[in-house]
Every structure is written in C-alpha cells, then in structure tokens.
Structure 1
Amino acid sequence: MTRIGAKPSTVSSPARKQAPTRGAGTSRWFASVWDSPLTSYYMVVGSSAMLIVFGLVMVLSSSSIEALADGESVFAEFLKQGMYVVVGLALMLVASRIPIAAYMRLTGVILVASFLMQMLIFTPLARGKGGNTNWVHIAGPVTIQPSEFIKIALALWLGFVMYHKRDQLNDVRAAIFPAVPVIFLALLLVVAGNDLGTAGILMLLAAGALFVAGIPLRVFVVAATGFATFAVAYVLVASNRISRIKAWLGHDDVSDPQGLNYQTKHGLWGLGSGGITGVGLGASRQKWSYLPEAHNDFIFAIIGEELGLLGTVAVLLLFAALGLGMIRIIRRHDNMMARVTTAAIACWIIGQALINIGVVIGFLPVIGVPLPLISSGGSALISTMLALGVVIQFARTEPGAAELLRTRPSVVRKSVSVIAHSVRTGLPTRSNKKGRS
C-alpha cells in the first residue's frame, strides 16, 4: 500500500525503460539499411530490373498497332526487344563478374575497337535514318549503332586514365592529356554521322568523369564554350536545323498542322490526356499512327497517356533510385577508376533520360535520343545494360560489400542445399509435406 502523503514513484519499470518508440526504431532501421555496403548494389540492380521490365511492357503496348498496320504480329517489336534483353542480360552478368584489374588491362583495346566500329559508317555498310548515318549493316535485318558502344568504351577508358593521373590532377596540361584529345576524336566520329544527340551525351559522360576525377573547373568552362559554339555553327549551316529550332521556339507555321512541331504536339497531347491515372494500359490513342516513334524516342508520352502522372512519376523515381545508387558508389568506393567510370555512366544514363523527357515535354528541341532501358532499340539497350553490369561490379567491390555477399548465399544456392539435405537424410521437403497433408 502507498503511504498517505508519499510522493509517487518516478522510477519507470524495466519494460517501459527498454521499449523504444516506433519512430526511433524505424529511423534506426533505415539508418542501418542506408549505411549497409550492399545498399548501392541493391539500388542499382533493383531499379535497373524494374526499368527493363517496365520498358518491355510499354514497348508491347506502344508498338502493337503499328506492327499490325505493317502486317506483322502485334508481338513483333516486343519479341525483338525481348531478344535484346536476353542478350543484354547475358552481357550484363559477364560484365558484373569481371574484376576491376581486368577492365584496366582491356580499356585500350575496347576503346580502339569501338572507334573502328564507328568508322564503318564511312563504308558501304553504313545505313541512315532521320538524317543520321550512325547505323552499320551486319547481316540480314541486323544493324548496330556503334556510337552507343563508344559510350561504355569511353567511360572505362577515362576511368583508367584518371586512375593513372590521380597524382597529376593539379597540373592541367598533364591531367587533360590524353583524355581531352581522345574525347574530341570520339565526338568527331559521332558528329560525322550527323548525330548531335549522341555527341551531347558523350559530352555529359566526359564531364561527369572529369569532374569526379577533380579536373580544375576552368577546363569545363572552356569545353562548354567550345561545344556551345560548335553546336550553334552546326545548326546554322543547315536550313532544316534552323527551321527545327524556330519551330521549337514557337515560330512554326500554324497553317501547316503536319509541320516540324507535329511530333512534339502529339506527344504533349498524349501526356495531357492521361491526367492523373491515365486512360489505361493499352488504351493510348496517339499510338494509332498519330505519334511518330511512339515505341522509341517518344515512349514517355505513351507512358503519360496510358498510366498518367502516376506512371511518369514512377519512371522518374526509378531513374532517381538508379542515380542515387551510382552516387553512393562514387562516394564510397576506394578505387579511382571505379568512381570515375561510375560517374561517367551515371551522367550518360540519367542525363540521357532527362534529355529524352525534356524533348517529349517540349522543353528541348527534338534531337533523337531514346529513353534508357525503356525505349525500343537493340544497340542502345544492350550498351546501357552492359554499362550497368560494370557498375554492378563496382557495387559488388564497394568496401565491405564483397564480404557480405559471400555470407548471403543466393536463393538458388539455398534451394539446392535444402533439396540436397533432404535427399541425404530422407526427410521430406516442405512441398512434399504439403502434398501428403
């Protein structure tokens, strides 16, 4: 009994002392997950996988009508894209298992091979599309776009060069040679095929690599000024390019509804008609031969029309997760080549995604770059998946990640071990138990 007039006890019970609040427990759990060496790995793998699967679904939806109009199966483009995904997954798996030391030995060979492939656009094997001559015929219906593979080759090579120049970065001349001349050569080969869009992506890629390496900022100012000057001159020498810029600025001929802004207008109409939740998967109106390149450069417009604002935000969040995973690798990895190459690939993939979306919403003029991992196209998809395989290798070798991966056996390995143990001991597996009950 409590004595009258005595003060109530202020000592809490042991159980009350040890009971954490729900918010504190959640914050501690989030902090432990965020600080885990495997977080970068899971972010890159998870977001890449979801973007690839989402891309397959949207390619099927956006290409079915055009395929039917061409007398093909509604699954024609989807099956072709699925084949590219299988090839990309195989290369992605191989790239994720190659040690960094092997990449350092192979970067020069890979770069020279990509340049030689690009030089095939000056041969009779070259093929053109939309004013660009950046495709090379291989055999039958198979063509490749070599400029897509220059991206991954240049990213690896810049990582290799900056690794060996890491003690000379304060000396501008020593730091930029031979990086800048090789970047200039890559741009020259791509622009020779009239592909200014890919050249712009290469500039982003190179800028990301050099920035993370620690090149002085005045180099970027000079490079940006030079590229801007070249881009203006490139536009002014051709009347059709001037017309496109004028149309983008709002000076198109309103009496010509099929004019240069036709594609942009229909892309915006598709996005606008989607609303919050969209008109439904497969129910797009623009893909009925109204919107050119609906399954390729303008697939984001179909996403907005069919899945609405929610669908477009989901795509942006997936790219944000992918970018954040790569930023973690840049900040946490202890190898200079891994950091620089990851930065180059991050600026390539995320930058290209933002440029593509900017074109679709009318913020940028039409320059013909696909939405990474989502748009239809073999060379772009395979090269992007190959680059992500390299990034996954870097995530696997982030300090502490390799040890954790070795202590976490795969699902397949767990299943095999359970079945093997059951066979040895004669004990029924869980599935057999269910069957007997």
Structure 2
Amino acid sequence: MTTVEAPRRTATRPARRPTTRAGASRATPPRAGGTSRATSAGSTPRAGRAKVASTARTATWSSPATSYYLVGGSTLLLLLLGLIMVLSASTVYSLRDSGGATPFADFLNQAKFALVAAPVAYGISRLPPRLIRRLAWIGIIGALGLQLLVFTPLSLSQGGNSGWIHIGPQNLQPAEFSKLALAVWLGAVLAAKGPLLKQWSHVLMPAVLVAGAFLGIVLYTHDLGTALIMIALVGGALWVAGVPLSMFSVAAAGITAAVAYLAVSSDNRRDRLLSFLSPETADPMGLGLQPRHALGGLGTGGISGVGLGGSREKWLWLPEGHNDFIFAIIGEELGLLGTLLVLVLFGALAVGLTRIIKRHPDPFVKITTAAIGCWIIGQALINIGVVIGVLPVIGLPLPLVSAGGSALVTTLAALGIVLAFARSEPGAKEALAARKASVRRSLAVIAPRLASGKARG
C-alpha cells in the first residue's frame, strides 16, 4: 500500500506547484521588433481607445443627422439668448414707452411671438419637402398681397421706414414675410428650370422679374437694408441654381450702380454715409450717437462683461439697444465671451446650412436652403458689422436675437423649413431614430437606479 501511494504523491506534486511571474515572462516569446507581450499589453489598449474615439468623431461628423443638430441646436440657443438679452436690454425702453407702467412690455411681446413661432417652426420641420414645394405659389401670392397693403390706409411709418402695416392690435412688417415666401418660391421655380438657366430669358422670367417687383415695393418704403438682404437672398438662390458667372458679373455691376444711386439720392442715407466715412465730424448727439455708444458699450464690457443687467448704455443712451444694436448690449453685459458665443452659434448655423446644400440630392432643397442662408447669415453679418463700426448704420435686426415679432416669426419658420430639409437628407431619418432609441434606452437604465436611490434615501 505504501509503495503504491508514494509514486502517486511524487507524480502529482509538480502539477500543484504554481507558476511564477518570472517564469511566465521567460516562457513568453518576444514579438517581432523586440517588443514583448507585457510591454504591448500596456500600450495597445490606449492606442486602440484613441483610434476608436477618432473613428467615432469622424462617424458623428459624417452622420446624416449632424446637419439637423447643427441647425436646430444653434437656432434654439440663439433664441434663448435673444429672449434673455431682450429682457435685460428693454426694461428701460419699456418703462419709457409705457409711462412707467411696466418694464416688461417689450419682453412679453417678444416672448409671445416666440411661443407662437416655435411650435409653428416645429410643425413645419415635420413636413415633407414635396409639400413645402407645392405651397410655394400660394405663399408668394399671399406675400405679395400682404406687401401691397403698404399702399393702403393700413400702412404706417416707423423711423423713416413706411414698410409697416397695422392690423388690429398688431403691427407687422410685410417685407419679412416676403423674404420667406420668395426663398421657397425661387427654390421651386429655379429647380424646375434646371439647365435652361444658362439662358438670360429663363433667368429673368419669372424669377428675377417677380423678385424685382418685391424689391421695388421695399425700396418704395425707404427700407434699403431689407432691399440689400433680398438682393443677397436672390443672388444665393441663383448661384446654387447654376446661373453662369458672366450673368452675375453683369447683374453685380447694375446692382452696385443702383445701390450707389439710392445711397446718395436720399439726404438721410447720404448723411449717414458721410458720418461713417468721417466719424470725427459726425454730430455726437445726432448721426454719430449710435456708433459712438455702440463702441463704448463693447469697450466697457471687456473680456467677461459688466454682468447681465448691468449695462449703462441701455439707459436710453443707445437708441434701439434692444433691437438693431442689441449686439452692443451683449458685448457690454457679457463681454468678449458673449459676443464670441454669438459668432460661434451663427457659424454653426452656417456650417449646418452649407452641409445641407452640399449633401442633399434635391435641387429644390439646395436652392431654397441657399436663399435662406444668405438671408439669415448675411443679415447677421451686416448687423454685427454696423455695431462694431465697419459698416454704415443700416436698420437691420440681429436674427433670432433682436426684438421684433415679424422678423422672429419668419426667421423661425424659415429655419423650420431647413430642418425639414435636413430630416429628408438620405439616411437622416434612420440616424435620428437610432439616436432617439439610444436616448430612450439610456433613460430606461437610469430611471430605475434613480428610483432605487430615492427609496434608499
């Protein structure tokens, strides 16, 4: 019995002996290039994680849903920032206009339009592009009828601009609705023309002639700023539609001559232009008042600003501080950081619009998006250029930020149309649905844990 068991214990003892770390490393052959498995085990996961992160970023940027999030996110943030700044900048003006009754009149009016326009824009963003295209002719006829009301007793004048109408308790600016209708109508007409746009006759009829009719009515009301935006809108649509560069050269020469004539033919415009060219001679309490105080507000703000609500320029020193010159109040209260935030948001919006133009296969979508982009981004650049003093004073609000009901409603509606286009980009619906499902799964995991945490608490 003993002689049998001893060999068994001797045979099984080496199997029970643990293998040392040193032995394992010696037994492992080195990889090619002299790198051992122990060395590569520490570096490979890190490099792999960096490669995975880079791939994820590239996939996110190239996703069809990125255009939708860029346009929608920047629009929402600009709208919220605008409401906050209108509340801050308009209190003193509201007290003055209401005889001291309330400091919130202008803010409540802006909030009312935002509460109406935001759901409308959301509803428009759910429409298919083909339905929007079918409504183009109805929209242009309705906008023309609204625009013609400036020739009726319903018209009224504000700040030398007679392009306003009074309907019931509300004042409206028909030119804002004309910009929206014109952008969609040009997209429908120019997309139908296609290759025929190489000929002058097909460019002029009916696109340029109809746009010229709207432009003539706007100029009749002495609103040169809106006329310039309409020209940019039409130019963007024609460019993306494929109109030859030679036609643009001829049109640009004619438009430049017309704008120069309009600028010098009006005493008010000529004086503003002269005060811009020689600001040291401008009356500091007249035409030089707004440019001087706008730059003063921007300079006072510094890097981080004097604080929200702390502006001194809004105490009736800066006319239209809650409207055309709200960018100066942003610079004063939020500083350089606040103004850079506005520029970044408009830059993100421009990138989203450009992506839709480049990636969408429908010519109607491309042309309409280009027209809307030239309108909104061009107006923002002109407004900011006026405030910082690189352009003469032109009465244009900052889109989505300045106070103004008509401009806010039409701008949000236009961006709702662009969101509808972004949703129809090939693969966008699937990408958006996948992200929504991912969010729902995350919430489904988080909610029970939060509930159990509250129960334990």
| Residues 172 and 216, structure 1, Cα contact 8 Å, conserved in 2 | no
Q: Is the 8 A contact 1:172 1:215 kept in 2?
A: no
- Asked whether 1:333 is paired with 2:360, we answer yes
- Pairwise mapping of residues 25-424 of structure 1 onto structure 2 (< 5 A)? 25-69=52-96, 70-140=99-169, 142-250=170-278, 253=281, 256-409=283-436
SS in 1 for 2:257: helix
What is the CA–CA distance in structure 1 between the aligned matches of 2:36 and 2:249, rounded to whole Å? Answer: 64
Q: Distance in 2 between matches of 1:63 and 1:411?
A: 42
Q: Distance in 1 between matches of 2:163 and 2:198?
A: 37
Cα pair distance change 1:7/1:304, threshold 3 Å: closer
Deviation at 1:385, TM superposition (A): 0.1
Deviation (angstroms), 1:134: 0.9
Q: In structure 2, what is the Cα distance between the partners aligned to 1:205 and 1:93?
A: 23
SS of residue in 2 equivalent to 1:372? coil
Unaligned runs of 5+ in 2: 1-22
TM-score by length of 1: 0.91
Q: CA deviation at 1:342?
A: 0.5
CA deviation vs aligned residue, 1:191-220 (integer Å, no higher than 9, x gap): 111111001001111111111111101222
Q: Which stretch of structure 1 is more off in the superposition, 240-249 or 308-317?
A: 240-249
Counterpart AA for 2:455 = R
**Aligned equivalents of 1:251, 1:317: Cα separation in 2:** 30
Query: Which residue does the alignment assign to 2:455?
Result: 436
| 1:93-113 CA-partner distances (Å, limit 9, x unpaired) | 121112111112110110011
Is the 1:252–1:260 Cα contact (8 Å) retained in structure 2?
no
- Structure with larger Rg: 2
State the distance in 2 between where 1:240 and 1:212 align: 35
**Structure 1: distance between partners of 2:255 and 2:360:** 31
Contact 2:284 2:292 in 1 (8 A): no
1:163 deviates by 1.4
Identity of aligned residues (%): 48
CA distance, structure 2, for counterparts of residue 138 and residue 352 of structure 1? 26
Secondary structure at the counterpart of residue 243 of structure 2? coil
Deviations 1:311-339 (A, max 9, x none): 10110000000000010000100111011
Q: SS at 2:332's partner residue? A: helix
Query: What secondary structure is seen at the aligned counterpart in 1 of 2:175?
Result: helix
Q: CA deviation at 1:411?
A: 9.6
The 1-side partners of 2:332 and 2:150 are apart by 37
1:28-59 deviation per Cα after TM superposition (whole angstroms, max 9, x unaligned): 22211111110000001100000000000100
Closer/same/farther in 2, CA of residues 435 and 375 from structure 1, 3 Å limit: same
| Partner Cα distance (1:260, 1:7) in 2 | 81
Moved more, 230-239 or 301-310: 230-239
Deviation at 1:222, TM superposition (A): 1.8
**Counterpart-to-counterpart distance in 2, 1:355 and 1:418:** 47
After superposition, the Cα gap between the structure-2 partners of 1:342 and 1:281, relative to the gap in structure 1 and judged at 3 Å, is same
Which amino acid in the other structure matches residue 81 of structure 1? Answer: Q
Q: 1:234: how far off?
A: 1.5
The worse-fitting range, judged by mean Cα deviation, of 402-411 and 34-43 is 402-411
Query: Take 2:30 and 2:222, find their aligned partners in 1: how far apart are those partners?
Result: 87
Distance 1:433 1:24 in 2: 37
| Offset at residue 408 of structure 1 (A) | 4.0
Shift in CA distance, 119/414, structure 1 to aligned 2, threshold 3 Å: farther
**Residues 169-208 of structure 1, C-alpha deviations (whole Å, 9 max, x = no match):** 3334324421111111111111111111001001111111
* Amino acid corresponding to residue 405 of structure 2 in structure 1: G
1:277, 1:7 → 2: CA distance? 57
Output the CA distance in 1 between the equivalents of 2:398 and 2:208: 27
Partner secondary structure for residue 166 of structure 1: helix
Cα distance in structure 1, aligned partners of 2:324 and 2:423: 32
Shift of 1:18: 5.3
- Amino acid corresponding to residue 374 of structure 2 in structure 1: C
Mapped partners of 1:74, 1:205: distance in 2: 37
**Distance apart, 1:157 and its partner CA:** 0.6
CA distance in 2, matches of 1:309, 1:93: 32
1:220-257 CA distance string (max 9 Å, x none) = 22222222211122122222221111111116645x43
1:296 partner SS: coil
SS at 1:302's partner residue? helix
Q: What's the offset of the Cα at 1:87?
A: 1.0
